[in-house]
């Protein structure tokens, strides 16, 4: 018989009752009294019950995901390997708890679903205390009927997610390593104390899964390595600011201000917590007791470059590049500095035109070689090498990204990049899986979250993208990468009202859009013959005037959405600048280009662009080829090309 601690929110007591009764009927000893909520720490009774429990069953719901107590109890279960997560209304667990298979107990739970709970409890029960799960009666099954709610997360069923965040397993401080850096979270004035306390609680619920851990404290202890200082007047609609200070001399290493557009204090607190956790993760990179510490000046540059890179990665990383160049020059043996410099340099290289790329290629090769002297197997170096491949060599592109992933399977940047590579070769399911894994490893990064959004948007998972986008916009209301994701979503999956919103974004100057894109939007809103002809004419003229990746991308989107398939096939077969191929072929697999993929001539296009070579050599054919409604067989059409 197992000792089970049942964690739930006070408002879910009636839903928790039948679950507890079913567990007890199955022979388990269940602690499920109504919890006493309040205060800053666990009550003694809860703490003792948690310590004595062999299994911690957490009932996630729309109520409990907002409860700091339930999250704390779930953290104890997770961090001690005793967690069994259950959703009672379809709500997905919050970040930090999605790496576990969650048991779904819908409104009408059946015996098999309850048996899944019993099996999970038994799997965590020590072998010297065997459990025999009793068959659940019809009456007991009828009692397990929590209110069902449709949750947008369920629209795409997120699988197991790992999480990369910053914090301390506060509930087991005796296990913290002595070498872990200490961080004091302090208020700069009395009015900011509520925000400081809330920030401390949020940070302590986040566990670092990759770089180590920090020891968090809410008191001004001497000898702290860092001080996270919180400022604000405590009003719900006010702004707040954070400063990360060096523990020794209290010099400012990093600072940021927050003012949520919603005016919600909860949004303010969440934004501040995520930003703080993210910068602490960067600070951990520079904190190593086994090697020479970075000077305060270099650490400050690294922290600010780290924060800036997240905001500008997919826009203009030039400033971040310059800052990381200073870091690697001052600290040539600092591997995280080189890794992030390669990330920034690679993205900048991607954005250069053909002439500038040719001029910079030799220097880019030297940069990769320099990083390999520090670590011959540096994953970011493999990713950088992809940019130097011939444009039609998608086989080696996948080979290099797979080598990078083999070097570091939990590198969120490599996973996000592999997601893009999978989109390029039409493997949409793999793209979503990689990007989702990356976002789970680093949920604090708007750039990584943007990559996940991109995979959902371009693979046609509209409802999943909509839900994910709404959450991202709450966390990073001002991040350019997230704003661009909203725009991409509208262009790819948006309805009429959302397309009108895109016009507003353009008119407000928040999104840049040329005449071709504006004409396409107008044709979508009002698909009259003049509007359609104007959109097609502008796209063709722009491409003929300057045939590059941008203009052919606009051409593909315009002709594809407006069903000018014959014209599109002809333009693609005539494309001859191979260096541009990797930058536009991904568009061919987006939802609005479905009419092109439905045409057997698409195999000719794929052969011309180099995609068919990859599919044949790897045996990994694009997802659309498995569509039972596709009017042709991809492999048979491909075989005809050799006949």
Q: Are residues 11 and 142 in the same domain?
A: yes
Is 260 a residue whose pLDDT tops 70? no
The pLDDT confidence band at residue 377, using thresholds 50, 70 and 90, is very high
Structure tokens at 316: 């203009």
Q: Does 258 lie in the same domain as 127?
A: no
Q: Per the domain annotation, does 350 fall within a domain? A: no
Identify which of 213-217, 230-234, 257-261 has the greatest average pLDDT: 213-217
Give the chain's mean pLDDT. 79
Q: What pLDDT score was predicted for residue 164?
A: 26
Cα–Cα nearest to 442, from 171, 166, 129? 166
Band of residue 38 on the pLDDT scale cut at 50, 70, 90: very low
The reply to whether 566 falls in a domain is: yes
What is residue 272's predicted lDDT score, i.e. its pLDDT?
77
pLDDT for res 625: 95
pLDDT band at 44; cut points 50, 70, 90:
low
Q: How confident is the model at residue 25 (pLDDT cuts 50, 70, 90)?
A: confident
Q: What is the mean pLDDT of residues 63-84?
A: 83
When pLDDT is averaged across residues 176-203 and rounded to a whole number, the result is: 77
Closest CA to 214 of 276, 258, 271, 161: 276
Question: For the CA atoms of 214, 215, 220, 222, what is the dihedral angle to 10 degrees?
Answer: -90
Q: Looking at the structure, do residues 120 and 202 belong to the same domain, yes or no?
A: no
Determine the average pLDDT of the residues in 162-188: 49
**What Rg, from alpha-carbon coordinates, does the chain have?**
27
Kindly indicate the confidence band of residue 384, based on its pLDDT and cuts at 50, 70 and 90. Answer: very high
Lookup result for tokens 């997770």: 78
**Single residue among 150, 176, 191 that ends a domain in this structure:** 150
Please indicate, yes or no, if residue 424 is contained in any of the structural domains: no
Residues 288-325, buried b or exposed e (16+ Cβ, 10 A)?
eeeeeebeeebbbbbbbbbbbbbbbbbbebeebbebbb
- For residues 133 and 18, membership in a common domain is answered with yes
The pLDDT of residue 544: 93
Beta bridge partners of 231: 241
Burial label, 613 (beta-carbon count in 10 A; 0-12, 13-18, 19+): middle
Look at residue 588 in the predicted model and tell me its pLDDT: 96
* Domain CATH code at residue 22: 3.40.50.10140
pLDDT of 218 > 70? The answer is: yes
- Please state which of the ranges 261-275, 305-319, 411-425, 529-543 shows the lowest mean pLDDT: 261-275
**Residue 362 is assigned to a structural domain of this protein:** no
How confident is the model over 308-318, as a mean pLDDT? 71
146 & 166 share domain: no
Residues 6+ apart with CB under 8 A from 418: 401, 402, 404, 405, 434
Pair (60, 107) in one structural domain = yes
* Assigned domain for 241 exists: yes
**Assigned domain for 289 exists:** yes
260 and 123: one domain?
no
Q: Does the pLDDT at position 81 exceed 70?
A: yes
> pTM of the prediction?
0.64
Start-to-end CA span in the chain (Å):
68
Question: Which one-letter DSSP state was computed for residue 30?
Answer: E
Residue finishing a domain among 150, 180, 214: 150
Q: Is 223 left (phi over 0), alpha (psi -120 to 50) or beta?
A: left
49-55: average pLDDT: 85
User: Does residue 188 carry a pLDDT above 60?
Assistant: yes
* Structural domain boundaries enclosing 273: 162-293
Per DSSP, the chain holds a count of helices (H) and strands (E) of 27, 10
Domain count, the chain: 3
- The mean pLDDT of 537-560, rounded to a whole number, is 92
Give 128's pLDDT tier (boundaries 50, 70, 90): very low
Tell whether 146 and 168 lie within a shared domain.
Answer: no
At residue 11, the pLDDT reads: 77
State the Cα–Cα distance between residues 36 and 19, nearest whole angstrom.
20
Domain membership of residue 374 (yes or no) is: no
Could you tell me if 81 and 197 lie in one domain?
no
Task: CATH number of the domain at 236, please.
Answer: 3.40.50
For 273, counting Cβ atoms within 10 Å of its Cβ (0-12 exposed, 13-18 middle, 19+ buried), the class is buried
- 168 shares a domain with 137: no
Same-domain check for residues 11 and 143:
yes
> pLDDT at position 499, please?
74
The sheet carrying 103-104 orders its strands as 29-31, 3-7, 55-60, 83-87, 103-104
pLDDT (mean) for 117-137: 58
At which of 275, 293, 311 does a domain end? Answer: 293
What pLDDT is attached to residue 193?
85
**b/e per residue 158-177 (b: at least 16 CB within 10 A):** beebbbbbbbbbbbeeeebe
Is residue 521 in some structural domain?
Answer: no
53 and 85 within one domain: yes
The pLDDT score that the predictor gives to residue 478 is 64
């Amino acid at each position: 018989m197992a000792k089970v601690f049942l964690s739930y929110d006070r408002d879910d007591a009636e839903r928790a009752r039948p679950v507890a009764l079913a567990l007890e009927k199955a022979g388990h000893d269940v602690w499920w009294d109504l919890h006493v909520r309040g205060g800053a720490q666990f009550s003694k009774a809860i703490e003792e019950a948690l310590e004595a429990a062999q299994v911690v069953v957490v009932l996630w719901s729309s109520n409990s995901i907002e409860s700091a107590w339930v999250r704390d109890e779930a953290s104890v279960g997770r961090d001690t390997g005793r967690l069994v997560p259950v959703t009672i209304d379809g709500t997905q667990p919050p970040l930090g708890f999605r790496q576990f298979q969650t048991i779904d107990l819908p409104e009408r739970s059946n015996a098999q679903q309850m048996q899944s709970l019993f099996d999970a409890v038994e799997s965590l029960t020590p072998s010297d205390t065997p459990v025999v799960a009793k068959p659940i009666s019809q009456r007991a099954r009828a009692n397990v009927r929590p209110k069902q709610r449709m949750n947008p997360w369920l629209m795409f069923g997120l699988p197991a997610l790992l999480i990369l965040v910053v914090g301390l397993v506060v509930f087991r401080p005796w296990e913290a390593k002595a070498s872990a850096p200490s961080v004091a979270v302090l208020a700069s004035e009395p009015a900011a104390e509520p925000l400081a306390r809330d920030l401390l609680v949020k940070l302590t619920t986040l566990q670092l899964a990759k770089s180590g851990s920090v020891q968090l404290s809410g008191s001004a202890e001497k000898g702290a390595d860092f001080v996270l200082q919180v400022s604000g007047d405590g009003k719900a609609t006010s702004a707040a600011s954070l400063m990360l200070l060096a523990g020794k001399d209290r010099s400012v290493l990093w600072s940021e201000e927050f003012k949520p557009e919603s005016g919600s204090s909860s949004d303010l607190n969440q934004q501040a917590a995520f930003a703080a956790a993210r910068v602490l993760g960067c600070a951990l990179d520079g904190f190593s007791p086994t090697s020479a510490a970075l000077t305060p000046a270099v650490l400050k540059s690294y922290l600010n470059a780290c924060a800036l890179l997240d905001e500008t990665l997919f826009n203009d990383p030039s400033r971040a590049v310059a800052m990381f160049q200073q870091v690697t020059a001052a600290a040539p043996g600092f591997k995280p500095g080189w890794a992030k410099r390669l990330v920034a340099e690679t993205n900048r290289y991607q954005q250069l035109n053909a002439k500038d790329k040719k001029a910079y290629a030799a220097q880019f090769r030297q940069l990769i070689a320099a990083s390999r002297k520090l670590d011959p197997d540096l994953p970011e170096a493999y990713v950088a090498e992809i940019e130097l491949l011939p444009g039609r060599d998608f086989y080696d592109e996948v080979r290099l990204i797979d080598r990078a992933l083999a070097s570091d399977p939990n590198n969120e940047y490599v996973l996000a990049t592999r997601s893009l590579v999978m989109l390029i070769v039409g493997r949409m399911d793999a793209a979503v899986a990689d990007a989702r894994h990356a976002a789970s490893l680093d949920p604090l990064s708007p750039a990584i979250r943007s990559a996940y959004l991109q995979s959902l948007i371009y693979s046609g998972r509209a409802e999943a993208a909509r839900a994910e986008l709404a959450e991202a916009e709450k966390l990073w209301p001002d991040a350019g990468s997230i704003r661009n994701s909203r725009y991409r979503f509208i262009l790819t999956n948006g309805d009429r009202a959302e397309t009108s919103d895109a016009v507003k974004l353009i008119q407000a100057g928040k999104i840049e859009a040329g005449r071709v894109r504006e004409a396409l939007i107008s044709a979508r809103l009002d698909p009259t013959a003049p509007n359609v002809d104007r959109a097609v004419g502008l796209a063709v003229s722009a491409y003929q005037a300057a045939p590059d990746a941008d203009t052919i991308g606009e051409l593909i989107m315009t002709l594809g959405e407006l069903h000018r398939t014959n014209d599109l096939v002809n333009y693609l077969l005539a494309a001859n600048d191979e260096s541009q191929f990797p930058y536009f072929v991904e568009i061919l697999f987006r939802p609005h280009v479905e009419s092109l993929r439905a045409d057997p001539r698409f195999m000719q296009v794929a052969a011309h662009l180099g995609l068919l070579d990859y599919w044949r050599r790897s045996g990994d054919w694009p997802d659309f080829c498995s569509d039972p409604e596709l009017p042709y067989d991809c492999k048979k059409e491909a075989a005809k090309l050799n006949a």
